[in-house]
Structure 1
Amino acid sequence: MCGTSVSDEQFLTIPQCDHKIPADRGGESKLPNLQTLCTRCNLKKRQACSGCKLASCEGCPFAYPEKFSAVFVVSVSDTAAKQIRELAFREGITPDAAISRLVEKTAL
């Protein structure tokens, strides 16, 4: 997902086997449903899945990152995340749209 080279030397980049569709949502432990994620992305995916309201995992960038080449998973400070959410709320847009606008405004 993040494109980080996985490594046994650093805890957060140790490769892990992940179920694209989680077992608790009916995902099988078979090769088509498995992917390799770094520890950080696997933890973030698990957190996102725990609160997911989607009817299916088929449209989820955490489950199928290869379908969403323009999707980036980034780590920001709590302060930055709060500012992004507040900006999105003020402008009546989603947080990802707010980030896109900020990037477009600062692009060279």
Structure 2
Amino acid sequence: MKKKILNITLLGLMLFSISFTANARNRLHRHHHIPERRNSNKQFIASTASTKKNGYIGVNKAISIALKKVKGAKNSNVTDVHLDRENGRMVYEGEIHYNGMEYEFDIDAVTGEIVKWKVDRD
């Protein structure tokens, strides 16, 4: 009887820990999720989270920083901007397609520093 109670208790603890881990993972993903906005069939990610709360510069500022490096490019040339973790830091990762070129960038989400800039023919 004691063995049966012990097995049931252990099973309950395992189920609880699995449930707790899954719930924590969902909360983490929701915290960093940024809803989508579509513009001219190009996918943008718009930040609705308070930049003061998390200390991030915001997606619009990140796009502005990247566009300053590509003379003539506009918001409509920016695609697929999202918040991501790279090498232990949060960055806005995205692409600009302009004049037959593709510019890939990572911009530090806190400082606004461009930490990756790659240029290829589109």
TM-score, normalized by the shorter chain, greater than 0.5: no
The normalised TM-score by structure 1 is 0.29
In proportion to residue count, which structure has more helix?
A: 1
In proportion to residue count, which structure has more strand?
A: 2
Q: Give the greater-gyration-radius structure (CA).
A: 2
